[in-house]
Amino acid sequence: MTGYAVTTRETANGTLTMEIKSVNSRFLDLQFRINDELRVVEPALREAIMGRVSRGKVECRLSFGRKVAAAGTLALNTTLLESLQGLQAEIRKQFLDAPALSVNELLRWPGMIAESEIGQETLQAEVMAAAADTLTAFVESRKREGAALEAMLLSRVDELEKIVERISPLVPQAVLQLQQKATERLQEALGLALQKGDSAGTPGLTREEVAERIRQEVTLYGIRIDVSEELSRLSAHLTETRHILKKGGQVGKRLDFMMQELNREANTVGSKASAKELSDASMAMKLLIEQMREQVQNLE
């Protein structure tokens, strides 16, 4: 799921800025953008994020801006200064008219002014403190989005339950009507056998044999088109989906599985549909389940 947080932390040596953002992904994918001098903290940051986040494409940016050094923190690089003095003396032996380096040139010489070193342990502690604050804000932002997604998913569950409740009473009536039509057609087809034998002179079927054949065929046909079991399983899956959403926690993978089961039952209802109302209901259910499936991939 998407989320965003940024924090800024002032330290004795500069300003730490940490930004964490994520977009939807079925798995956890971490990417880091960190200053070279802070690269050493990446493993600790990775561990901290993985401890709070389990899904999403997450990008972490960490930057450090040094403060302008105060006068008391500046120091001359005496080793470099002595080296330049010796080199200048050697050069002026060969070139007597060569001007000496000015104070301004010496101060601007790369590496001549050394700032006080930043303690790595102190800096890492500051980074992890900033990470804790940023992660807390980041998780909260994801929770807010999760609450909105939960409301949407529950509304789709309500709609699916209404469809199941509406079409469930239609199933026995539709099966009965089709069984009656099948009986009439079979009676017409098999009734001919009562009037004449086959070409080899075999006697035709008796009325009892015809009635038994019709009963068997109609019973099997009724079983094939009856979707009562599928609707019962749909109701059970919807109840479980609602329970998972209400329970909370890491629900993404469990809901992925429930979407597969819901879609399987809705497809079966469509393939066995014996009336237009059932076929239309199956299509409506599959559309709602697809909307849920797309959003479930965003949940952790």
Instruction: Give residue-wise pLDDT tens across range 272-281.
Output: 776 778 788 8
Element (H, E) at 230: helix 228-247
Q: Which amino acid is at 287?
A: L
Higher pLDDT, 150 or 24: 150
Same domain for 102 and 216? no
Q: How much is the average pLDDT of 177-181?
A: 62
Of the candidates 85, 74, 24, the residue with the CA atom closest to the CA atom of residue 53:
24
Of the candidates 201, 40, 185, 53, the residue with the CA atom closest to the CA atom of residue 122:
40
Residue 23, strand partner residues: 57
Q: Are 69 and 115 in contact (CB under 8 A)?
A: yes
Same domain for 167 and 82? no
Query: Which residue range is the domain that position 158 belongs to?
Result: 145-296
Same domain for 263 and 193? yes
Q: Give the model's pLDDT for residue 56.
A: 81
Q: How far is CA 161 from CA 75, 116, 223, 254, 266, in A?
A: 76, 68, 24, 20, 12
pLDDT in tens, 210-257: 566 666 665 555 556 667 788 888 889 999 999 988 887 777 788 888
- Among 71-75, 186-190, 282-286, 291-295, name the most confident range: 282-286
Q: Give the model's pLDDT for residue 253.
A: 80
Same domain for 292 and 236? yes
Same domain for 164 and 87? no
Average pLDDT of the chain? Answer: 79
Same domain for 208 and 173? yes
Q: Give the model's pLDDT for residue 288.
A: 93
Residue 154 phi/psi, 5° resolution? -65, -35
Same domain for 87 and 54? no
Q: How much is the average pLDDT of 164-172?
A: 79
Q: Lowest-pLDDT range, 36-45, 104-113, 213-222? A: 213-222
Confidence of residue 125 (pLDDT cuts 50, 70, 90): confident
Same domain for 85 and 202? no
pLDDT in tens, 41-84: 899 999 999 988 887 889 999 988 776 555 455 677 788 888 88
Instruction: For residues 34 and 123, give the distance between their C-alpha atoms in angstroms, rounded to a whole number.
Output: 14
Higher pLDDT, 189 or 233: 233
How many domains is the chain built from? 3
Confidence of residue 119 (pLDDT cuts 50, 70, 90): low
User: What spatial distance separates the first Cα and last Cα of the chain, rounded to whole Å?
Assistant: 7
Of the candidates 282, 266, 274, the residue with the CA atom closest to the CA atom of residue 230:
266
Same domain for 276 and 198? yes
Q: Give the model's pLDDT for residue 178.
A: 61
